[in-house]
């Protein structure tokens, strides 16, 4: 539950004996973790109260208490700003509330800081450099976390995986952050002491001077870019450049060239951390606020590209193998021909009174035309053993026993001396064969009936040269003397 400033003032009187508040007001702080208030006592002194909202925040305050005790008077004297001092604590259940002695100065928004004088920007740069130049033994002696660059990168990757499991992070941001975290060249830096929770609410300003730095709950050794994340949120590039220039001049070690890239990544990723924290606390307001900010960030990155957070550019999504072209410009793979010029694979000629006829049909002009016309095969083209209309098909003459030697054609004589049958080339008939040679036409006895009909139908469509059987001139007739004539 949240505690209002009046309740916090009552808790402060229990933590600091003799404290009598005369005025109280709320103080800026992280609303997800702490309730805070500023007090004014009867002697005109100011105090600050921080009360944790959950066990994790209480542990952070207890860690800060140990950190502040580690800052010896000698270390404090070298800092360009003041640090808080714990005046008292009170434990309520599992949570501990801390009261701090008042520090001069006031907090300002990022916009107010960036619009201030250049001297204030340089003061901020000097304060940042002083924090990062603190002795590393300060952290190790207090048994606080310490990370190498690769360990810190892996920690961020683990946090990214945790955030992705919520299903509430826009895919564009997940891909963008993962690419930056896998860019190894981005994570080559010298670790230093890091404040860990530095932002405008923890910097007290008086005029153009930084008077104090508060909120030492996350002190560690890690990436100095984390303390720069709040700076990149400023839209004033001149302010950022002035702070960074003063910071670089004040540091004992030269900052790496990718400091601001990692700072921008840390600023964006803080929204995912805020979402996870809201889900863990079952705070629907926090979750809704985090989702809204993540959606706004994703839209900004999609439209404007966002701030650069990696050295290597983000690969673009793979293009489809087949490009989609607007319908107006689509060119067909095969150009369709107009129906009038299209040629069918098989031409079908109608059979009727006006249909073209073969030479054999013209011999019987005036006769009825059958639905399916079969062109008669001339006698001299019928192979041995194939039957014609009215003949037996078993190789015998009807009414006569024994094999059929010769079946005379109409108008021909079987007398000796008749000329042998010849083909169109004039060569004599060859002996009968049992199997056709390669690329030769099969004998008629192995042809299918429909194959014959196909050939007949094709005669109407495919022109051919007339054979001797089609010739009706007198030169094609063979004169044979009749038997017994002189």
Mean pLDDT of 429-452: 43
pLDDT at 203 over 70: yes
**Per-residue tokens: 32:** 């997800």
Q: How confident is the model at residue 224 (pLDDT cuts 50, 70, 90)?
A: very high
Mean pLDDT of 94-115: 91
Mean pLDDT of 274-301: 93
pLDDT in tens, 142-186: 889 999 999 999 999 999 999 999 999 999 999 999 999 999 999
Q: How confident is the model at residue 33 (pLDDT cuts 50, 70, 90)?
A: confident
Cα–Cα distances (Å) from 102 to 45, 85, 457, in that order, read: 7, 8, 113
C-alpha span between 158 and 174 (Å, rounded): 13
Of 53, 44, 57, 188, give the one whose Cα is nearest residue 102. 44
Q: How confident is the model at residue 320 (pLDDT cuts 50, 70, 90)?
A: low
Global pTM value: 0.62
Predicted pLDDT at 142: 86
Strand partners, 100: 48, 86
Per the model's pLDDT, the better-predicted residue between 289 and 337 turns out to be 289
pLDDT at 47 over 80: yes
CB 139 within 8 A of CB 219: yes
Per the model's pLDDT, the better-predicted residue between 316 and 178 turns out to be 178
pLDDT in tens, 390-403: 444 444 444 444 44
Q: How confident is the model at residue 360 (pLDDT cuts 50, 70, 90)?
A: very low
Dihedral (CA of 299, 304, 310, 314) sign: positive
pLDDT at 214 over 70: yes
Q: Which of 46-55, 124-133, 316-325, 349-358 tops mean pLDDT?
A: 124-133
Burial class of residue 157 (count of CB atoms within 10 Å of its CB; 0-12, 13-18, 19+)? middle
Q: How confident is the model at residue 292 (pLDDT cuts 50, 70, 90)?
A: very high
C-alpha span between 245 and 262 (Å, rounded): 17
Per the model's pLDDT, the better-predicted residue between 216 and 388 turns out to be 216
Per the model's pLDDT, the better-predicted residue between 424 and 267 turns out to be 267
Per the model's pLDDT, the better-predicted residue between 371 and 215 turns out to be 215
Residues 42-46: contacts with CB under 8 Å, at least 24 apart: 45/101, 45/102, 46/102
pLDDT in tens, 410-435: 444 444 444 444 444 444 444 444 44
Average model confidence (pLDDT) across the chain: 76
Compute the C-alpha angle 266/249/313, nearest 5°.
35
Predicted pLDDT at 318: 58
pLDDT at 271 over 90: yes
Of 276, 277, 302, give the one whose Cα is nearest residue 168. 276
């Amino acid at each position: 539950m949240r505690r209002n400033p009046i309740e916090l003032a009552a808790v402060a009187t229990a933590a600091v004996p003799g404290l009598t508040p005369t005025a109280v007001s709320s103080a800026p702080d992280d609303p997800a973790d702490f309730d805070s208030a500023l007090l004014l006592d009867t002697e005109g002194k100011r105090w600050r109260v921080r009360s944790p909202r959950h066990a994790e925040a209480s542990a952070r305050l207890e860690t800060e208490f140990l950190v502040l005790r580690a800052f010896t008077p000698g270390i404090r004297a070298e800092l360009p700003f003041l640090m808080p001092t714990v005046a008292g604590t009170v434990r309520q259940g599992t949570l501990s509330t801390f009261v701090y002695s008042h520090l001069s100065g006031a907090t300002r928004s990022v916009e107010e800081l960036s619009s201030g004088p250049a001297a204030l920007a340089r003061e901020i740069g000097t304060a940042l450099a002083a924090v990062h130049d603190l002795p590393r033994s300060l952290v190790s002696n207090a048994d606080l976390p310490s990370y190498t660059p690769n360990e810190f990168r892996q920690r961020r990757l683990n946090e990214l995986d945790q955030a992705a499991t919520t299903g509430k992070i826009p895919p564009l941001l997940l891909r963008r952050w993962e690419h930056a975290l896998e860019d190894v060249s981005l994570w080559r830096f010298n670790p230093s002491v890091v404040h860990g929770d530095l932002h405008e609410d923890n910097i007290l300003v008086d005029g153009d001077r930084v008077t104090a730095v508060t909120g030492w709950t996350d002190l560690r050794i890690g990436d100095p870019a984390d303390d720069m994340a709040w700076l990149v949120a400023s839209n004033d590039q001149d302010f950022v450049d002035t702070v960074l220039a003063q910071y670089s001049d004040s540091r004992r070690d030269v900052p790496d060239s990718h400091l601001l890239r990692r700072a921008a990544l840390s600023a964006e990723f803080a929204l995912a951390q805020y979402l996870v924290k809201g889900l863990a606390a079952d705070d629907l307001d926090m979750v809704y606020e985090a989702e809204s900010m993540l959606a706004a960030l994703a839209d900004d990155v999609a439209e404007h590209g966002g701030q650069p957070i990696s050295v290597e550019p983000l690969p673009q999504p793979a293009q489809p193998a087949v490009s989609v072209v607007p319908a107006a410009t689509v060119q067909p793979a095969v150009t369709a021909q107009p129906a009038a010029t299209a040629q069918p694979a098989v031409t079908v000629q109608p059979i009727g009174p006006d249909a073209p006829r073969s030479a054999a049909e013209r011999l019987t002009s005036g006769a009825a035309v059958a639905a399916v016309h079969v062109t008669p095969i001339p006698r001299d083209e019928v192979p041995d053993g194939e039957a014609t209309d009215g003949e037996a098909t078993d190789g015998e003459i009807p009414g006569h026993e024994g094999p059929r030697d010769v079946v005379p054609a109409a108008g021909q004589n079987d007398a000796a001396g008749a000329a042998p049958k010849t083909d169109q080339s004039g060569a004599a008939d060859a002996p009968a064969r049992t199997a056709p040679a390669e690329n030769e036409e099969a004998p008629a006895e192995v042809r299918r009936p429909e194959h014959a009909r196909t050939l007949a139908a094709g005669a109407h469509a495919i022109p051919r040269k007339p054979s001797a059987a089609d010739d009706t001139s007198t030169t094609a007739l063979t004169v044979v003397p009749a038997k017994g004539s002189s």
